[in-house]
Amino acid sequence: MALLIIDTEACTGCGACVDVCPFGALEIIEGVAVVNENCTACGACISVCPVEALSLPEAEEKPVTEDLESYQGVWVWVEQFQGKAASISWEMMGQGRRLADELGTTLTACVLGEKMDRVAHEAIAYGADRVFVADDPTLRVYRTEPYARILVELVRQYKPEIFLLGASSRGRDLAGAVATLLYTGLTADCTGLEIDPETRLLLQTRPAYGGNIMATILTPNHRPQMATVRHRVFEVPEPDFERQGQIVSVPVVLSEDEIASKVVDFIVEEGEVNIADAKIIVAGGRGVGGPEGFEPLRELAQVLGGAVGASRAAVDAGWIPYAHQVGQTGRTVRPDLYIACGISGAIQHRAGMSTSRVIVAINKDPDAPIFDIATYGVVGDLFQIVPALTEQFRKKLKR
């Protein structure tokens, strides 16, 4: 089943490909590389082969976007909820600006909603040269169909080379629809964006397998090059409200009658957690011992104005709802401060929080892997340390 083509004449059996293969799909047998069915055609080995013995089949008639060169400019979709722009979008604007400058091109923001004047002006302050504004009651609340259709029409008309969206629920929902309709490449949940100086292509880097490996992905023959970008990986740039930019009003594509989906309600539960946006997270794992063990963590989180997170072990044991779960099967978070209490730090958990700015680990076991990624570590009983910490912050922060 493996697609990889190995030129056995050229292969010297050096084993460079074996070392880089993330899937253990290559081995050297009798002096030449041999591929097995673990191969995913990821291409990681091709660039390391010193004798160019490896390749993937090139289709003769590979479908491509026509007229690639005519695609110019960097675009960012500005997500709004209840008329307010999401901070993730300003993070995208910061990156969009950087990429546009590197390419010597312009940055365009796409603002969709109702009464979007203020957001449109903010977009300029955050770096846009041009803002497309679709302002209509049908766009007040985000819905996939009307949003996707407008963006698709705009792309077809104005042909951007790069289109960035935040990897929020809405961003992922929208990007998936737009990329499919446009038949272009979309790289989800990127943590790195660079321009290849030679080809001017966007190098999109994203974690896979819960952050254990990183992949750099290109969209060489399709435009725009689309990416969603993970929240809180990039800084929100300083807005400059003196900046000048062009605001272009664009029409809606679908009328209300033509939209199948209606948003009928929005439920925000009492005590609903949004750990993805929290700046401070106090998280508990197996070491908290039971549902009541989260109480001291809640108190600390309250004093710090943070949220309570949990490891999968604590959630699976039923001590705390899933909404609190951090990690590969839960939420990925990147707070300024992550306090891990009684969390051993399994790789799946670390995948969801290891990019936090400051990590504090409190654990009884001095060998717990969580200490490997912590900024500060405390070996001790969380039921003593956490309340003491709460008390100290109460005093020092006067809360």
Rounded CA separation 233/190 (Å): 9
Residues 76-95 that bind another protein (CB under 8 A): 81
Judge whether 252 and 138 are in contact, CB under 8 Å: yes
Rounded CA separation 299/359 (Å): 19
Which residues have CB under 8 Å from 219's CB, separation 6+? 184, 185, 187, 201, 202, 204, 225, 226
Residues 123-142 that bind another protein (CB under 8 A): 141
Number of residues forming the site for another protein (CB under 8 A): 123
277 binds another protein per the rule CB under 8 A: yes
> How many Cα atoms are found within 13 Å in the side-chain-facing hemisphere of 196?
13
What the block records as the tokens of 371 is 């200490």
Rounded CA separation 68/70 (Å): 6
20 binds another protein per the rule CB under 8 A: yes
Torsion of CA 31, 37, 40, 46, to 10 degrees: 10
Q: How far is the CB of 264 from another protein (least distance, A)?
A: 5
59 binds another protein per the rule CB under 8 A: yes
Judged by CB under 8 A, the residue of 5, 16, 28, 43 near another protein is: 43
265 binds another protein per the rule CB under 8 A: yes
Residues 197-236 that bind another protein (CB under 8 A): 203, 207-222
Q: How far is the CB of 280 from another protein (least distance, A)?
A: 7
185 binds another protein per the rule CB under 8 A: yes
271 binds another protein per the rule CB under 8 A: no
Residues 339-368 that bind another protein (CB under 8 A): 347-348, 354, 357-358, 360-361, 367-368
State which amino acid sits at residue 393: F
Q: How far is the CB of 247 from another protein (least distance, A)?
A: 27
What the block records as the tokens of 174 is 């929208």
- CB nearer to another protein: pick between 105 and 144: 144
255 binds another protein per the rule CB under 8 A: no
28 binds another protein per the rule CB under 8 A: no
Judge whether 5 and 54 are in contact, CB under 8 Å: yes
Q: How far is the CB of 257 from another protein (least distance, A)?
A: 13
Rounded CA separation 225/223 (Å): 5
